[in-house]
Amino acid sequence: MGYKCRIPCVKPLMTNRKRQKCLTWAKEKKNWTVAQWSKVLFSDESKFCISFGNEGPRVWRKSGEAHNPSCLREEGHIHLSNPHLAKMKEDILYHFDLGTNTHDFPALFGDVKFVCVGGSPWRMKAFAQYITGELKLGNPEEEIANICAGTDRYAMYKVGPVLAISHGMGIPSISIMLHELIKLLYHSKCTDVTVIRIGTSGGIGIDPGSVVITSQSVNPCFKPEFEQIVLGKTVIRSTQLNNELAQELAQCSKEINEFNTVIGSTMCTLDFYEGQARLDGAICSYTEEEKMQYLKAAYEAGIRNIEMESSVFAAMCNVSGLRAAVVCVTLLNRLDGDQISSSHDVLVEYQQRPQKLVGYFIKNRMSQNLNKTESIQIWCLCTRTELENHIASAIWGKINGVIQKYNSSCKKTSPHTDTLA
Ligand SMILES: O=P(O)(O)O[C@H]1O[C@H](CO)[C@@H](O)[C@H]1O
Ligand SMILES: O=c1cc[nH]c(=O)[nH]1
């Protein structure tokens, strides 16, 4: 039939309102002089792609349809890969107890920029309270309302631009939550959203308490794929995660400097016991040697931890154009045993590590965004020469910042410029 699966072109999608605005803008400037235009800098030729690589949403299109609006994707926007949704008069997110006819999604969630998900409702509530304190958005001791109080399936808390949601245990549970979350973000018209799973896992060859930032989620055969049966046919989706985001999180951990953090592959299994090569389940069909051989091979393949949700999480975020990361603490080293035997207090402290790291990352990102808004305001108001000066001073500001950081990390007191040479 001539359809091919392609990465959609990224363009600002032109609604009638946007078309009208462009026309009004052009009419207003119809008689501008050369002197007036010389104060304007056009930068539409530069494209800095920081969010997507080869992964991401795809569209089915015929040749010549690349610029057809239905085949485009707007940068930073949520991509819904389901043509049927547009025909629905109402969308009920049953497991969240929210609906598009009963709730004003853009008003409730339109400002969401970060979504943090984790297994237990208790842990996500604790995270929401922690982030309240970190972002200075209220009293972290105060009770916080569960948006999904009408259902006992998932718990959801909102703190400023951060949404914290529990997803339960395993692929089926997180997958239902993600379907509804992605639709929630879409209906709310959210843009530039980062989604992070903060969780626990079993480590392979690293000390308990280490944090693993997932580069890719792999299946029990060590392949970076998520396989699902749809209408009786096998659909395979990529489970690669965003490398830049992983690096940024690793940098945050360096700055916190409180616990060991590594970037590595994460194995995602369907089960905690046999699926993760444990010897202590109710059923076990292999020997201890076979178990050790398997875990050592996993380590050799670059796998540093095992958990139960990352594959479908990565696959669904990829398809929907969402920047995503998985940050899990390891509760034990599986090369040393199977039972989680650390004390309650130690486990609670371990579980706080991904929260601390992601809290720091969000705080950093938000302060960067504030700086960006300030510079955009300055840039819009200035002439070309002023703009050049601003850029120059911004670059020098950055360089000075780096030098100061370098100086303080070297414990040198007098300024020096050797990094500039
Ligand atoms: O990250 P959390 O929610 O702790 O989840 C991890 O712990 C559960 C097993 O105890 C699995 O769901 C696994 O992925
Ligand atoms: O070993 C572990 C620990 C936490 N979660 C898992 O899935 N496995």
Q: Name the phi and psi angles at 329, rounded to 5.
A: -85, 150
* Residue to mutate (ligand 1; options 169, 174, 175, 332; most atoms within 8 A of CB): 169
pLDDT of residue 45: 46
**C-alpha atoms less than 13 angstroms from C-alpha of 85 in its C-beta half-sphere:** 15
Distance, CA of 216 to CA of 239 (rounded, Å): 6
Amino acid at 37: W
pLDDT of residue 369: 73
* Residue to mutate (ligand 2; options 276, 304, 347; most atoms within 8 A of CB): 276
Distance, CA of 366 to CA of 162 (rounded, Å): 11
**Ligand 1 binding pocket includes 174 (Cβ within 6 Å):** no
Sign of the C-alpha dihedral computed for residues 225, 154, 187 and 99 taken in this order: positive
Task: Estimate the crossing angle of helix 344-381 against helix 121-134, to 10 degrees.
Answer: 50
Ligand nearest to the CA of 313: 1
ipTM of the complex: 0.99
Closest CA to 185 of 209, 205, 214, 156: 156
pLDDT of residue 416: 33
Distance, CA of 418 to CA of 408 (rounded, Å): 14
What residues flank ligand 2, with Cβ below 6 Å? 200-202, 272, 276, 306-308, 331
Ligand nearest to the CA of 169: 1
pLDDT of residue 39: 73
pLDDT of residue 236: 97
SS3 243: helix
For 240, the token pair is 């690669």
Is the distance from CB of 172 to CB of 300 less than 8 angstroms? Answer: no
**C-alpha atoms less than 13 angstroms from C-alpha of 324 in its C-beta half-sphere:** 27
Going from the first residue of the chain to its last (421 residues), give the mean pLDDT of each consecutive group of 10, the final group possibly shorter.
64 71 84 80 47 48 66 76 95 98 98 98 97 96 96 97 98 98 98 98 98 98 97 97 98 98 98 98 98 98 98 97 98 98 98 98 89 49 51 51 46 32 23
Is the distance from CB of 266 to CB of 328 less than 8 angstroms? Answer: yes
Spell 335-352 as b/e; 16+ CB within 10 A means b.
Answer: eeebeeeeeeeebeebbb
* Dihedral, CA of residue 222, residue 224, residue 229 and residue 230, to nearest 10: 180
Residue having the nearest C-alpha atom to atom 2 of ligand 2 = 202
Closest CA to 198 of 271, 270, 131, 272: 131
Q: What are the C-alpha distances in Å from 338 to residues 85, 119, 268, 273, 389?
A: 45, 20, 17, 9, 61
Q: List the beta bridge partners of residue 327.
A: 198, 213
